[in-house]
Amino acid sequence: PRRDDWVLVSAHWVKRPWQGQLEKPPPEDVPRWDPNNPLCPGATRVNGEVNPQYEGTFVFPNDFPALQPDAPEPGDSDHPLFRAAAARGVCKVMCFHPWSDLTLPLMSLAEIRAVIDAWAKLAAELGASYPWVQVRGCPVPRCPSQVWASSFLPNEARLEDRTQRQHLREHGVPMLLEYAKQEARRKERLVVENADWLVVVPYWATWPYQTLLLPRRHVCRLQDLHEGERDSLASIMQRLLIKYDNLFEVSFPYSMGWHGAPTGPYLEEDCGHWQLHAHYYPPLLRSATVRKFMVGYEMLAQAQRDLTPEQAAERLRSLPEVHYK
């Protein structure tokens, strides 16, 4: 319902002998300060700028931004099949911690809370003028988080805006608020929960160990979270990411991102159909060396997954919440 499409579940398929590509697991001996990492405190970036000796989160404009605030208008199209429009925006990079060997699950709750506050601050500042602010994160020391603000609603945002608006109109309750209540009651796909948040392997998950992080109350945007919810968010993020790392005893690769109500001109509109949520998309399937690739049928027909959401949730749920290191 969130994307108005279907997922093919082929749970028996994971039993087939693996003849695909094997990946090298990510290195476990990352140095605390890496002279080759341009994001480290005191390091010189490619553009010649020297990073400050930061001790917490560090945010700076992306040296190679995908969006520019002054992008030119394209010329007029001579045919409706060849349309173009200007895409403007700004891109920021955020370092979570001055140490290169620390990912979020190994950071303290206070340090994770500082990351959440920095995300919310950027979302509010950039959202004052831009319609969409995309907060992204991953466990890569060279670029743990990026924030893109755009003059347009990206495809996924437009799709979620339409499906959530339609659900509220037809059922009288925000889609993902109702979904969170259903998953909290059913518990089949629940991974971790606390008083303010829950993490589930969504019923419509595409990636093997994909999860969805949801607040229990109706919240439209990241910057709307109160103090207690930010503290409990730090806790549940740490618990989830420890489980991810413990799954194959490796720093678990993933791409994550926050989706919330549009901003900029939409701040004056009723966005009550939106519910804040975060997506986690990890590619590992069977081990630290076997990845899931979206190829073949997935690219040409529709998404296909190799185990049921319930199986994935049970495996994640049963993992300890003490980091394997």
Q: Which among 299, 296, 212 is positioned nearest to 256, based on CA atoms?
A: 212
Query: Angle at the Cα of 113 (from 107 to 116), degrees rounded to 5?
Result: 115
Looking at residue 29, its pLDDT comes to: 74
CA 287, CA 264: separation in Å to the nearest integer? 43
Across the chain, the runs of DSSP E, i.e. the strands, are 8-9, 58-61, 89-95, 132-137, 145-150, 190-193, 197-200, 211-215, 255-259, 277-281, 284-287, 290-291, 304-305
236: CATH: 3.30.428.10
Distance of CA 294 to the CA centre of its chain: 18
Interior angle at CA 191, CA 190 and CA 196, nearest 5: 80
Output the CA–CA distances (angstroms, integers) from residue 165 to 56, 169, 203, 280, in the order listed.
39, 6, 20, 23
pLDDT at residue 200, as a whole number: 98
Residue 160 assigned as binding residue: yes
Residues 6+ apart with CB under 8 A from 175: 1, 2, 163, 164, 167, 168, 273, 275
Structural domain count of the chain: 1
Whether 77 is in a domain gets the answer no
- Known binder of ligand: residue 279? yes
Contact 254, 248 (CB under 8 A): no
pLDDT value for 118 = 97
Instruction: Domain of residue 313: give its range.
Output: 35-70+85-157+173-318
pLDDT at 296: 76
State yes or no: 321 annotated in a binding site: no
- Annotation-wise, does 28 bind a ligand? no
Please name the residue ranges forming H helices in the chain: 109-127, 155-171, 175-186, 227-248, 297-300, 309-317
Per-residue pLDDT of the chain in tens (325 residues, 90 and over written 9): 999 889 888 876 556 554 455 566 666 677 888 878 899 999 999 899 999 999 999 999 999 999 999 999 998 999 999 999 999 999 999 999 999 888 999 999 999 999 999 999 999 999 999 999 999 999 887 678 999 999 999 999 999 999 999 999 999 999 999 999 999 999 999 999 999 999 999 999 999 999 999 999 999 999 999 999 999 999 999 999 999 999 999 999 999 999 999 999 999 999 999 999 999 999 887 777 777 777 777 878 888 888 899 999 999 999 999 999 9
- pLDDT at residue number 299: 79
Within a domain: residue 8?
no
pLDDT score at 33: 86
Whether 281 is in a domain gets the answer yes
